[in-house]
Amino acid sequence: MPVHSVPDRRGTAQRRRKLATLAGLCVAVGVMTTLVSYSVTLYRLFCQVTGAGGYTARAATDTATQSSRMVTVAFNTNVAPGMPWRFEPVQRQVRVHLGQDALVFFEAENLSDAPVVGHATFNVTPEKVGAYFKKIQCFCFTEERLAAHQKVEMPVDFFVDPRMGSDANTADVQTITLSYTFFTSRQPNDAEDLARFDQAQPSAAAGRELFATVCSTCHSLNANKIGPPLNGVVGRQAGSVSGYPYSSALTQAQVVWNAATLDKWLTNPRGFIPGTTMPLSIPDKVRRRDIIAYLETLQPRSGGPS
């Protein structure tokens, strides 16, 4: 059984208690919903090490539990009056199948000249779908410190329980809104440093989810789509998959794909190889690193160019 497919509330609560004891950091909030956000660090330290989160198991099994019904999940952010932070969703909304794992990002920036400790709360509307908005392993928008003028991206991993599809009461729901509000903390001494989001180890599992939401519109692993197939791309000469109609810029580029060249490419494809037709760029270095970690796991396709 997929680790995440039957996230009954009791199991989730138990897991939370366990993690809270283990880490002394994870706190259950949100009695009415089971949404939990997590920090990359806690997630990787506690969930991966203890197996409590089952990140890879989830990533490997999520397609099996998806339903064909889709919903739009929209993101909304607020900052309490007087708090000198900018806080915004990186993407306004995503469209997901029920049961599909999605990874989204929120960006926070301290606009002041002094460190500020913040604390987030969230809610999900309409209220009747709150119980289906799941779950994510570790919770941790606890007390968060941002140094003066520091900016970070914070990940939130979620899925909408496929059981929502059989609840007639929610049949009219097209859009679910997740709202976060940041407040100035009342317990600033407990703060964790948000800089940890920049220091976390690369995660191929997070990269796989990003690939599914960001790259797979244009790329598949083994077939031509809008872009060329990407299986085995690491170590491959740019523009070398036979049968894909590359731009002449890419076929003449004399570039071999590795972590360094992929990082330049994803930062700004047209800056790195002028004339290429790939329109997308990934400005965030943590996300680029995760995507590249995922690409490094892909096997060269059989019969492809060596």
Residues forming the site for ligand HEC (CB under 6 A): 214-215, 217-219, 226-228, 230, 233, 238-239, 241, 246-247, 249-250, 257, 265-266, 276-280, 282, 291
Q: How far is the CB of 140 from ligand HEC (least distance, A)?
A: 26
Nearer to ligand HEC, 194 or 241 (CB): 241
Query: Alpha carbon of 14 to those of 8, 24, 101, 135, 177: distances in Å?
Result: 10, 14, 22, 13, 27
Closest separation in Å from C-beta 39 to ligand HEC: 23
Q: Is the Cβ of residue 147 or residue 259 nearer to ligand HEC in the bound state?
A: 259
Closest separation between CB of residue 241 and ligand HEC, Å?
Answer: 5
- Calculate ∠ Cα 74-121-30, nearest 5°: 95
In angstroms, how far is the first alpha carbon of the chain from the final one? Answer: 38
Distances 249 to 24, 35, 163, 173, 292 between C-alpha atoms, Å: 53, 46, 48, 46, 22
Cβ atoms of 25 and 137 within 8 Å: the answer is no
Inter-residue contact 36 to 135 (CB < 8 Å): yes
CB–CB of 20/132 below 8 Å? no
Q: Do residues 87 and 180 lie in contact, with contact meaning Cβ atoms separated by under 8 Å? A: yes
100/231 with CB nearer ligand HEC: 231
Measure the CA–CA gap between 54 and 61, rounded to whole angstroms.
10
The least CB distance from residue 235 to ligand HEC, in Å, is 11
In angstroms, give the least distance from the CB of 207 to ligand HEC. 9
- Minimum CB distance to ligand HEC smaller for 174 or for 302: 302
Cβ-based nearer residue to ligand HEC, 54 or 229: 229
Between 11 and 275, name the residue whose CB sits nearer to ligand HEC: 275
DSSP 202: P
Task: Work out how close the CB of 220 gets to ligand HEC at its nearest, in angstroms, rounded to a whole number.
Answer: 11
